[in-house]
């Protein structure tokens, strides 16, 4: 078994209650798979759980399952979707916070953060974060990059803005105290066995080097 932190990310669970973006259905999983993955990873060492996009399934399915198992998670919410059909409203976000979960930002509109102009960058990284902080009544200092896209300029700005931890979609392990945290997003074609093999056992040395190289390239471009 490799060392490091395993970040497991969920998106939607069950039946979507809104129109999905192109390709998004790949990340909507059944309730059965969700519960099976939770039961599996609760026995793993050094696991963090997160949820992206702020879907209603976060509180309808995700939160009760976490509390039942004594688990916590980070929930990365899209500010512009608050109160929209199929998405969390303000009361639901506050419920997550009161239940001991961490609320982070996924930006405003679920658009890539790489290559943003200044006005878009302010809306995605500042306005959206401030909106969520107002909802929960506490600072919001963690973020998840939409669509997993980032580069050196984005990382530098987020550090200047005071973000304490940023999550990506790179499917590899993370160093426990690292500022940038890669994650394994659970997909519809995953199984408990395939996730165990990829995340817990992990790839061989050569594949790990390739994954690390991809991350370095993103950080430097």
According to the model, what pLDDT value does residue 171 have?
Answer: 87
Q: Which two tokens stand for residue 32?
A: 């059965």
Q: Please write down the long-range contacts of 12-18, taking CB distance under 8 Å and 24 or more positions apart.
A: 12/53, 12/55, 12/57, 13/55, 13/57, 13/61, 13/62, 14/57, 14/60, 14/61, 16/55, 16/86, 17/55, 17/56, 17/57, 17/85, 17/86, 18/55, 18/84, 18/85, 18/86, 18/87
**Which architecture, in CATH terms, is 6-220?**
Alpha-Beta Barrel (3.20)
Strands 6-10 and 180-181: unpaired
Tell me what pLDDT residue 201 has. Answer: 77
Each residue's pLDDT expressed in tens, for the chain with a length of 221 residues: 467 999 999 999 999 999 999 999 999 999 999 999 999 999 898 999 999 999 999 999 999 999 999 999 999 999 999 999 999 999 999 999 999 999 999 999 999 999 999 999 999 999 999 999 999 999 999 999 999 889 999 999 999 999 999 999 998 999 999 999 999 999 999 999 999 998 887 654 334 444 454 444 454 44
What's the per-residue H, E or C state across 55-67? ECHHHHHHHHHHH
Report pLDDT for 16. 97
Query: How high is the pLDDT of residue 202?
Result: 66
d(CA 16, CA 52): 14
- Enumerate the β-bridge partners of residue 64: none
The domains of the chain are located at 6-220
Amino acid 109: pLDDT: 97
């Amino acid at each position: 078994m490799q060392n490091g932190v395993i970040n497991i990310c969920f998106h939607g669970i069950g039946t979507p209650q809104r129109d999905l973006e192109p390709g998004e259905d790949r990340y909507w999983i059944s309730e059965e798979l969700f519960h099976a993955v939770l039961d599996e990873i609760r026995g793993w060492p050094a696991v963090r759980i997160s949820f992206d996009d702020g879907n209603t399934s976060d509180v309808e399915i995700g939160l009760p399952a976490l509390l039942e198992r004594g688990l916590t998670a980070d929930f990365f919410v899209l500010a512009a979707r608050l109160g929209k059909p199929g998405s969390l409203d303000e009361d639901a976000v506050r419920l997550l916070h009161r239940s001991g979960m961490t609320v982070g930002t996924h930006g405003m509109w679920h658009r890539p953060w790489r290559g943003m102009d200044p006005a878009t960058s302010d809306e995605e990284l500042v306005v959206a974060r401030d909106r969520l902080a107002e909802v929960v009544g506490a600072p919001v200092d963690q973020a998840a990059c939409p669509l997993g896209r980032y580069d050196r300029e984005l990382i530098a700005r987020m550090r200047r803005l005071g973000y304490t931890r940023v999550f990506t979609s790179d499917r590899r392990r993370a160093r426990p105290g690292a500022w940038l945290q890669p994650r394994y997003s659970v997909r519809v074609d995953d199984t408990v066995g395939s996730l165990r093999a990829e995340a817990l056992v992990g790839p061989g040395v050569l594949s790990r080097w390739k994954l690390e190289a991809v991350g370095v390239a993103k950080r430097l471009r």
